Amino acid sequence: MPEVTRILFVCLGNICRSPTAEGVLRYKAPHLDIDSAGTSDWHKGDPPYGPAIDAAGLRGYDLKLLRARQVVVQDFEDFDLILAMDSENLDTLAHMQPVKSRANLRLFLDYAPQTGRREVPDPYYTRDFEGALDLIECASDGVLASLEP
Ligand code: 4NP
């Protein structure tokens, strides 16, 4: 199996779930090349949503310097593993993925089967930033465990 070192997290706006996952996994695994992006361009250039920055900050993850961007086709060449926060994000990505791309496209919570969930509910709407962080921390540990030889 080729080594996985480049990981992209994807959500809709790139201001809540995927930047949180980026911050959490980078904290846990600074040696990996981690980024995040949105399927939309709605928040291009924006920092993460204030309540997401605050909730992550209370657990020691610093999201303040991150800036939103939209997913581009080049991402399928630049990343080994692309992790979608929900099925809608996954569908959008699957339609974008070039035939020749070898990137592994998955739902992030595939790495946290013990949660019994497949999607990270969007805290922008649910307001449950703690619940999203719990799922993201759990799946981040699962990703790291999957990378161990
Ligand atoms: P995210 O949450 O996909 O986790 O970044 C959202 C943030 C903003 C919007 C939608 C989802 N919005 O509609 O602006």
Task: Report, in angstroms and rounded to the nearest whole number, the Rg of the chain calculated over CA atoms.
Answer: 14
Residue 24, domain member (yes or no): yes
Per the structure, how many domains does the chain have? 1
Domain that holds residue 25: 6-147
Q: Is the dihedral of CA 57, 60, 61, 64 positive or negative?
A: positive
CATH number of the domain that 52 lies in?
A: 3.40.50.2300
Instruction: Determine the Cα–Cα distance for residues 64 and 77; give it in Å rounded to an integer.
Output: 27
Residue 71, domain member (yes or no): yes
Indicate whether residue 133 lines ligand 1 (CB < 6 A).
no
The set of catalytic residues is 11, 17, 122
Q: What is the pLDDT of residue 3?
A: 87
Residue 25, domain member (yes or no): yes
Q: What is the pLDDT of residue 129?
A: 98
Q: What is the pLDDT of residue 17?
A: 99
For ligand 1, mutation pick of 122, 125, 126, 133 (most atoms within 8 Å of CB): 122
Indicate whether residue 122 lines ligand 1 (CB < 6 A).
yes
Q: What is the pLDDT of residue 149?
A: 83
pLDDT tens digits, one per residue of 3-45: 889 999 999 999 999 999 999 999 999 999 999 999 999 999 9
pLDDT at 108 over 80: yes
Q: Pick the atom of ligand 1 nearest to 122's CA.
A: 4
Interacting residues of 13 by C-beta distance below 8 A, sequence separation 6+: 38, 40, 42, 43, 49, 68, 124
Residue 110, domain member (yes or no): yes
pLDDT at 1 over 80: no
- Helix, strand, coil percentages for the chain (3-state, nearest 5): 45, 15, 40
For ligand 1, mutation pick of 12, 14, 136 (most atoms within 8 Å of CB): 12
Q: Are 38 and 69 in contact (CB under 8 A)?
A: yes
Q: What's the gap in Å between 28 CA and the centre of ligand 1?
A: 24
Residue 130, domain member (yes or no): yes
Residue 115, domain member (yes or no): yes
What is the value of pTM for the model shown? Answer: 0.98
DSSP assignment letter at 70: B
Residue 98, domain member (yes or no): yes
First vs last Cα of the chain: how many Å apart? 10
Residue 1, domain member (yes or no): no
* 87 SS3 class: helix
